[in-house]
Amino acid sequence: MITSLAIPYVDVSAGSLTFRPDAPSMPVLDRLERDAGPLRLSLRLLGASHQAVVATPDGLIAETLAYRDGLGPDLPDEFNQRVGSWRHRYTCAVEELTVPELRGRVRDLRARSESEYLLMGVFGDRPDAVTALEIVGTEPLTWRTVHTYPQHGQVVTTTGGVEPVG
């Protein structure tokens, strides 16, 4: 599904993003939620940012990728954490694309936007500026996010997942 974001598009880039596994809940513009066995995933659209929160029997697992005032950029390629008997894995890749390549990526996302497993936020005045959240599997629970920054020709793609340890 496509959500039109009626907020100003802030000119940020991959270089201004911060990843935090311990960020507090942030204002949510829209969300995509699913159950996967004992897990409950909430993918939260925060504008040009996202927050994934997984409720496990042993506690919450979270990842937040956002521009945050007062925090320096920190965009790790990968991150792992354990909460009780659950492991969270996160990876991130930043790509520099030409305008046609970036538009092609956005076009591919739009083509899949009717899926119940994809939520795409589009800034009304910047049709190539999108944040897409997608559930890609439930065993193990995995998701992907795509953040486009057309003014810099950048696409930030993250993959997250939670699975039992052992």
The size of the chain, in residues, is 166
Report the C-alpha gap between 16 and 5 in whole angstroms.
Answer: 20
Question: In the chain, what are the domain boundaries?
Answer: 2-164
DSSP state of 93: E
pLDDT tens digits, one per residue of 94-139: 999 999 999 999 999 999 999 999 999 998 778 899 999 999 999 9
Note the Cα 35 to chain centre separation in Å. Answer: 18
pTM for the structure as a whole: 0.93
- Quote the pLDDT of residue 26: 85
Is the separation of the CB atoms in 16 and 67 below 8 Å? Answer: yes
Q: Of 105, 119, 108, whose CA–CA distance to 148 is shortest?
A: 105
Question: H helices of the chain, where?
Answer: 99-111
Would the pLDDT of 6 be above 70?
yes
How does residue 68 score in pLDDT terms, banded at 50, 70 and 90? confident
Phi-psi region of 49 (alpha: psi -120 to 50; beta: other; left: phi over 0): beta
How does residue 72 score in pLDDT terms, banded at 50, 70 and 90? low
- Quote the pLDDT of residue 11: 61
Exposed, middle or buried: residue 146 (CB in 10 Å: 0-12, 13-18, 19+)? buried
Ramachandran angles phi, psi of 16, nearest 5° = -110, 5
Report the C-alpha gap between 144 and 125 in whole angstroms.
Answer: 25
